[in-house]
Structure 1
């Protein structure tokens, strides 16, 4: 017996224990920072040299490439275009020096993405963000492009959906999106097609008149984007803009929530299968966009009944009627002048849709309490904000609901965190508590996703993954506090401190 114990002890000292998910996440984060620090130092040195040589313009351009320090603010994501044409610009005299700095950094980010994807457990969100850093530095690297879902196209890169559109004779119009080439002349004249009549050629009308004929549900506009089928009776330009917001949000959601989606994630499959080529087989999500609140309620009442009350701003039910397979429509309306911007409701409900239609089989009602997490995520995504430079951000302290949440926290309207976490769906949706519960869910989700530069994000999303699968049980060691490694009382203290007003100086 003693000999066996000594042998086991020797083995334990000889073989280090595998890193935990938290340890490997910290190692990956440290490696990412080191890549950026090395690159930034080299770029500053090059910019300083150019300044001394009197090349102020070149120095200024190089300094634009130096990443800003991480201030712990919102998560920022640059939306990747559907088509990237070949690079045709001739580099400046100092361009080769920049490439000599940026290329090794891009290759290091690709290696980091591979490490993150191969870790146990995998860190797919970190892999996804690392690939974005890589493509910004080595845009023509075939493996980076493959992993991000691109295929070669006419000397550049495109996603398969875009390639099929181009093969079909479509062009990407700046206002109206993918349209047949013979539409372009009419669009430039301010014309749109009237509703089609079988057996008759297309009739072109002034845009306002054509939009007017589509302003009821007998003849809605039908728009197909890469990941969505949209039906809308709002003006076509507005519906296209709505679709572009959906696509940008899809990009953000699948990057940030990659670890919750797990093995169902296309990126995860491409990492596992190096020969897997991206294709256009994605099953689109259905979105309905009504022109106003009255039409929304009238059309949705036969589908959802009393579940859509007078205050409803959007609707998605993962178990509701009207779908095929695991696909169900998400419903919205143009809420001009509403308390919440229509974009906030859009991002909230579509986050539910993308989660429940992409993460595999769910059992979210089988948890013991912990229902809050799904509405917490929905309200977290309400903070999604497009930026002027074409990027998209999420997690900022923005929006009327979050401000109301801070007000309710200050007024001590929130439940104690222990009681809040124990609520099931019925308790969460009690009439006398529902508004404050949504506020508390939002405040807690934003805190867990953003506080301390995202320190709680991965443990929280691990908890989300198990909550989605119905694996949160009392006493099972799968609780939120177990993932974070701190008791509920300490989570609550930190939550309150994060929203406390700055002391006056």
Structure 2
């Protein structure tokens, strides 16, 4: 079985709709689908008319706006840019079909903005749907001021920018395509293939050939130090690689807080801005700490005094919410794992998803639950499915990746525990040597099903359960179990879970 086959088979899934108490969520989903369908119908009619009128260029532009075909259960999120330049004024003799497009899309944008408000004002709030609806509104109304504020932008020189980017620009920095935010007077040197040598107090910057400068940073005495909007990174890999690593972190941060909005709850910046119409995006985000080593040996050597023998030969990344740190910020550790058993990006997304959850969702008591430890590794492995798309967007929850392929095989071979037994495992039981690999597979498969299955209808009640698990509220007989959140008996959840994967295991 290959990941390509998994995606191709996704079209064959036919599962009955869930029976849950989330009538508001279903109504919001129906409204969103109706808006998109009505807009698509109007755009198609416009394209057909323009074709008949021999306006081929206009028809082609209109068809580019039609919804993309859906070829699997994954969720697509396009990371938002740091800076949005002012839109150029249209020429005086603008093509009339552009006005026709605006007449169709702008009202839909306004409707999506109202849908976002409705989702945020619901009780309980549906912040994930609000976040997605705002992105839909922005796609159609790029200068909608309130949508921009809610999504973290401030006005900037006739366009829009995030406060972090505004601060960089005011400091005289520019966004270099390879090296990120750098002082403007660095650009000429960078274009000559030079990089700065390690800083020496009281001395001017020394410029060296890039390979030589990177070599001086290849030991942990002088790592590169990089600050992005949400992360503080130390790395002893070449600077271009470290910058690329930081960009992946930022793109993932955007995806994570869109997909996981309902698990973060009131601590979500978007939720706070919805509650306070005067609250502006904050430039002073306390960054998450990330350490990126050049190789596995260095990773193990430097991490062993911190994590002990838990950093074994098969460790690919490490984050401990109870480990040493400052406040609620603790480093996540990675290494450049060339040709490893999992892509570097999969490990990155797994561990950083833990980091973002535990450093953004408030105080936790996740070890106080009666079992249900699986959910944390389930979410981590769920984010291993993040895949970059050709247009710069990211997709999460697709049926891809080596671990999910193995999970389908294990399910077909009946290696998975009965769901009721699986859910009741605590951390020690989940991680016992005889079961750990299959438990990770089952956790991933179950998380993908709950986040993506049945057209995403189970996601919000599942994330309500995640929020309870994070706070240690899962107690036997206390009405906070997964089945209570979903409103579905455990045997029915298991039946639907197996039905979701049946096409991939031949049964």
TM over 0.5: yes
- Secondary structure of residue in 1 paired with 2:385: coil
TM-superposition CA deviations, 1:257-276 (whole Å, max 9, x none): 11110110000000000011
Q: What corresponds to 1:159 in structure 2?
A: 162
Q: 3-state DSSP class of the match of 1:94?
A: helix
Q: 1:24 aligns to what?
A: 24
Contact (CA 8 Å) 1:72, 1:453: kept in 2 or not?
no
Residue 393 (structure 1) aligned with residue 395 (structure 2): yes
Give the number of aligned pairs: 484
Which residue of 227, 233, 241 corresponds with 1:224? 227
1:303-345 C-alpha deviation (Å, 9 max, x unpaired): 1112212211000000101x11000000000000100001000
Kept in 2, the 8 Å contact 1:362–1:470? The answer is yes
Q: Which moved more, 1:106-115 or 1:472-481?
A: 472-481
TM-score (norm 2): 0.94
Q: Deviations over 1:114-139 (max 9, x none)?
A: 00000001000000000000000000
Equivalent position to 1:361, from 347, 352, 363: 363
- 1:93 CA drift (Å): 3.2
2:104 maps to: 101
RMSD between aligned residues? 1.3
In structure 2, the residue matched to 1:236 is: 239
Matches within 5 A, 1:45-444: 45-68=45-68, 70=70, 73-88=73-88, 90=90, 92-321=95-324, 323-444=325-446
Larger Rg: 1
Deviates more, 1:493-502 or 1:469-478: 493-502
Decide which moves more: 462-471 or 299-308: 299-308
SS in 2 for 1:499: helix
Q: Does residue 461 in structure 1 map to residue 463 in structure 2? A: yes
Residue 68 (structure 1) shift: 2.9
Distance 1:362 1:234 in 2: 34
Answer yes or no: is the 8 Å Cα contact 2:408–2:504 preserved in 1. no
Look up the SS of the partner of 2:131 in the other structure: helix
Q: Deviation of residue 92 (structure 1)?
A: 3.5
> How high is the TM-score relative to the length of structure 1?
0.94
Which residue of structure 1 aligns with residue 14 of structure 2? none
Distance 1:67 1:472 in 2: 40
Structure 2 runs not aligned, ≥5 long: 1-19
SS of corresponding position for 2:22: helix
Structure 2: distance between partners of 1:72 and 1:92: 37
> How far did residue 158 of structure 1 move?
0.1
* Contact 2:412/2:505 (8 A) holds in 1: no
2:6 counterpart residue number: none
2:17 match: none
- Deviation, 1:84, is 0.3
Query: C-alpha separation between the residues in 1 aligned to 2:414 and 2:245?
Result: 38
State the structure with bigger RCO (CA 8 A, min sep 6), 1 or 2. Answer: 2
Is the CA contact 2:317–2:348 (under 8 Å) kept in the aligned structure 1? yes
- Name the CA distance, whole Å, in 2 between partners of 1:304 and 1:152: 45
Q: Is the 8 A contact 2:21 2:487 kept in 1?
A: no
Distance in structure 1 (CA, Å) of the matches to 2:153 and 2:172: 20
> 1:502 and 1:310, CA in 2 relative to 1: closer, same or farther beyond 3 A?
closer
Quote the residue 1:3 is aligned against. none
Cα separation, 1, equivalents of 2:341 and 2:95 = 50
Aligned to 2:7: none
User: C-alpha separation between the residues in 2 aligned to 1:456 and 1:31?
Assistant: 17
